[in-house]
Amino acid sequence: MKDKKCLMLDDVKIIAAGCEAEALRQNWAVSIAIVDDGGHLMWLQRLDDAPLTSMTIATGKAYTSALGRRASKWYEEVVAGGRNAFLSIPGGLTLLEGGEPIIVNGETVGAVGVSGVKSDEDARIARSGISAFLEQRQFQAESKA
């Protein structure tokens, strides 16, 4: 059996605060979802004036990123590249950029999904929260496409 790291509420609060700070700095009204490595929701926050649909979309992006162990942008690019059959995959995945995995010591421990502005801006907010967490917890930043 192997030991694995898992997100705790204190970790999630650091990530959420980092995401919120970046969104507010840019004056972007978004929703922020954070899930564990199994895609289970640990945090959901809708900033003032964020679209109501952004909560569901952010949660879907985080879920997709956690289960796929990669940024949700990868799925969007597969579909944009013409692989339309990907649209029929089961599991309720959200094939849009804005979901980013949280990787610690080479293991995906969860993911962040953001929705409310342009997809690349959503991803930027998610990465800001993850960076704040990795820096505060002194983990080496890792990315996985």
Domain annotation covers residue 145: no
Give the CATH number of the domain where residue 106 resides. 3.30.450.150
- Can you give the pTM of this predicted structure? 0.93
Instruction: Tell me the pLDDT of the chain averaged across its residues.
Output: 93
- pLDDT higher than 70, residue 140: no
For 87, the domain range is: 9-136
At 145 the pLDDT is 45
H-run or E-run covering 132: helix 119-137
| Beta-strand runs (E) in 47-106 | 99-104
Three-state SS for 61? Answer: helix
pLDDT tens, position by position, 47-73? 999 999 999 999 999 999 999 999 999
Q: How many CB atoms lie within 10 A of CB 13?
A: 14
Separation CA 25–CA 142 (nearest Å): 24
pLDDT tens, position by position, 110-129? 999 999 999 999 999 999 99
Higher pLDDT, residue 39 or 143: 39
Contacts of 92 (CB under 8 A, 6+ apart): 60, 63
Q: How confident is the model at residue 143 (pLDDT cuts 50, 70, 90)?
A: very low
Separation CA 24–CA 67 (nearest Å): 28
Percentage of residues of the chain with pLDDT beyond 70: 95
H-run or E-run covering 90: none
Interval 71-98 mean pLDDT = 93
Q: What are 114's strand-pairing partners?
A: 32
Domain annotation covers residue 49: yes
Instruction: Give the chain's length.
Output: 145
Domain annotation covers residue 1: no
Q: Give the total number of structural domains in the chain.
A: 1
Domain annotation covers residue 142: no
Domain annotation covers residue 108: yes
